[in-house]
């Protein structure tokens, strides 16, 4: 039997008695192709893709790894999943007394 633990708080998840929440993240640099109108019959899409990736890497400060799409999956316990839903980007908590409405 596979044992899971929460990727956030590291608590062992009891697969028999509690639900495991799976969060998948697809992240990638989003660029608007600025040369769409230059469509030619013999476009080399692979070349263009490579170019876009390089542009994305450049836009990300020259870090090539940031130009590549990533997929990650996390297993979370219920508590951590609720916290994730409330603050998926891990923003700092709002100051006390701050009203969000």
End-to-end Cα spacing for the chain: 47
From start to end of 1-98, where are the E strands? 4-5, 12-13, 21-27, 70-76
Nearer to Zn ion, 24 or 34 (CB): 24
For the bound state, the minimum distance from the C-beta of residue 4 to Zn ion, rounded and expressed in Å, comes to 11
Of 3, 4, 2, 25, give the one whose Cα is nearest residue 75: 4
Nearer to Zn ion, 17 or 37 (CB): 17
The residues binding Zn ion (CB under 5 A) are 6, 8-9, 77, 80
Least distance in Å: CB of 23 to Zn ion? 11
Smallest gap, in angstroms, from Cβ of residue 48 to Zn ion?
42
Tokens of 35: 């040369």
Q: Which two tokens stand for residue 13?
A: 């998840």
Task: Please identify, using beta-carbon distances, which residue of 56 and 76 lies nearer to Zn ion.
Answer: 76
């Amino acid at each position: 039997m596979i044992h899971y633990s929460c990727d956030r708080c590291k608590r062992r998840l009891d697969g028999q008695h509690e639900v495991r929440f799976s969060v998948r993240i697809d992240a990638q640099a989003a660029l608007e192709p600025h040369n769409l109108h230059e469509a030619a019959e013999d476009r080399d899409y692979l070349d263009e893709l490579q170019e876009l990736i390089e542009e994305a890497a450049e836009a990300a400060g020259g870090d090539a790894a940031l130009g590549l799409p990533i997929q990650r999956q996390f297993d979370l316990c219920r508590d951590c999943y609720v916290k994730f839903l409330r603050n998926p980007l891990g923003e700092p908590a709002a100051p006390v007394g701050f009203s969000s409405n």
